[in-house]
Amino acid sequence: MAILSAPGLTGLAYAAPAPEPGKKSLEEVRKEIEDLYHKAAAATDAYNLAEGEAKRQSDQIVALANQIVAGQQRIADLKNRAGAAARAQYRTGGLPPGAQLALSNSPRQFLDGADRLRQGEKATMGVIAELNRTQDDLTRYAAEASAHWRTLEANRLKKEAAKKEIDSKIAAAKALEDKLEAEEKARLLKLEQEHAYKEQSKWLESGVLKEINGKATEAGKAAIRYATAQIGKPYIWGAEGPKGYDCSGLTSEAWKAAGTPIPRTSQEQLRLLKKVPIRDMRPGDLIIYFDDASHVAMYIGDGAMVHAPRPGRHVTIAGAGSMPIKAIVRPDA
């Protein structure tokens, strides 16, 4: 049976009282709040992406630092070897053992000494070549580390900018809601539910659900079990559980629990996961919403999805068509 109505709605339109002259209607307030939260969601994805990239850069810097330390130790060892050879030459009057043998009156000793002399020269050249290579590696590692530091700093600035935008949008939306009386807040929730109901109804009336009959894989079932077990937990921007989630935090953690790690943000999930037509959608697939791919949910079957909606709301089940669908992606393609 398809999900059609939102909780507390019977399918009948909800008529909000007319606003006072010069005052915004509750529907206008709803749209303004929705727009602010939408912009906050887009900024949250930018923040999460920058945070993930910052972690990768930090890991690269640590790895390069380890390589630099190992390279410095290698250079020290090579210099010790070169120093030992130089000290040996000094003790023998500047002639290495091979050269002394080469100057021997014995033909056999001469041949043996010449061979050892060639081997010694080859070994010395090898030490010098390895020393040069190691020094070149250290120069390259240092340059790469500097580049990673610059990228890390750029991502830090991106995170700060995104966080400021998130905070400002959420604060503005909350300020609008805080101005409402308790009765108006209840009506606002009804309007949100009615809007979602209308969008879901239009989606179902298109006949799309008749084409959707895919079956969940075992991994998909595991991801759904995880996601639905989080129902009732609050939306927290940037969160990946266990106390709360943002939209992509919920979907990425659900699929991680199912044994299939996926990208952290909705934009990256759209970019990197396999896209499938809506008619081929199956439970466990992810639904990417809005043109900017700023929201994601998990399809659970029968026209329903589970998602973390926005700040001030909790993880819940809703109609899969209650928001404009941009694409369907499959983590376990």
Q: How far is CA 320 from CA 119, 205, 236, in A?
A: 75, 13, 21
In sequence order, which residues have a C-beta less than 8 Å from that of residue 75 and are 6 or more positions away?
A: 131, 134, 135, 138
- Specify the 3-state DSSP secondary structure of 279: helix
Strand-pair partners of 245: 235, 240
- Specify the 3-state DSSP secondary structure of 3: coil
314 has catalytic annotation: no
Whether 252 and 263 have beta carbons less than 8 Å apart is answered as yes
From the list 38, 148, 307, 314, the catalytic residue is 307
From the list 38, 148, 195, 295, the catalytic residue is 295
- Distance from C-alpha of 84 to C-alpha of 333, rounded to nearest angstrom: 60
38 has catalytic annotation: no
Whether 241 and 315 have beta carbons less than 8 Å apart is answered as no
Cβ-based neighbour number of residue 17 at 10 Å: 10
- Based on the number of CB atoms within 10 Å of its own CB, is 70 exposed (0-12), middle (13-18) or buried (19 or more)? middle
Strand-pair partners of 234: 314
In this structure, what token pair is assigned to residue 242? 């266990």
- Distance from C-alpha of 48 to C-alpha of 131, rounded to nearest angstrom: 43
Whether 224 and 283 have beta carbons less than 8 Å apart is answered as yes
- Distance from C-alpha of 51 to C-alpha of 160, rounded to nearest angstrom: 10
Nearest to 210 by CA among 302, 141, 308: 302
- Which amino acid does the sequence have at 333? A
From the list 38, 148, 195, 247, the catalytic residue is 247
In sequence order, which residues have a C-beta less than 8 Å from that of residue 85 and are 6 or more positions away?
A: 96, 120, 124, 127
| Enzyme catalytic residues | 247, 295, 307
